Amino acid sequence: MQSSFDNKQTHVAIIMDGNGRWACAQGLPRAAGHRAGIDALRQIVRAAPDQGIQTLSVYAFSAGNWQRPPQEVAALMRLFSEYLDSETEDLVRDGVRLSVIGRRDRLAPALVAEIERSEAATQFGDALNLRVAIDYSARQAILAAARALGPDATEAGLTCELAGDAGPVDLLIRTSGEQRLSDFMLWECAYAELYFTPKHWPDFAPADLAEALNAFRARSRTFGALPAEAA
């Protein structure tokens, strides 16, 4: 079985879906679901290195999410700010390097400044590479990378431009029962294994991450070649 999990270079991407549905099921406002989602992220980040994950990319806010009600968008932006303020010190302590991917020109300058401070403070973390996608669209990212590289663009060049040292995604997890990529890391997920769970994101725990990784390890990744036994 071919799997980059074996050399502990696993890149896991998660579409953190279902915060609002979780809140509605609990009779709570949607903002409470997003806050519970932050708590779930905190647990997953702490568990990831011990489960053999080197890079964790999470979808926090898509370019399309600007279409949501202004009060919900404002609540999400406050949560991002609170997360950076409360978690940066712990990320440094735990050796987690934070980077935020996506556009920044539509974010409030104060939030951009906080992002930059957190990225600078955590830049030497080597236990986990945590990539948080905010105002992110894979199609826009691919278009920007292609324009930056120009007519001499190559697959390797685009991969480097889009993923940096994170590399391609090995395992993509989506919570809350939906089974689509929703414009998340389309280039990097070309050969990713896909794992869908009906659990809403606030209920997704480290044990669920371990279950997803076990399913990933059980799959044969041939990248277009024949399996070893067939060859």
The catalytic residue positions are 17, 65
DSSP 187: T
Question: Which amino acid belongs to residue 28?
Answer: L
Q: What are 92's two structure tokens?
A: 């440094």
At CA 32, angle to CA 41 and CA 213, rounded to 5?
Answer: 25
Residue with tokens 């999400």: 76
Residue with tokens 């990529």: 181
User: What is the distance between the alpha carbons of residues 150 and 159, in angstroms, rounded to a whole number?
Assistant: 14
CA-CA distances (angstroms) from residue 76 to 30, 52, 107, 135, 195?
Answer: 10, 30, 12, 11, 26
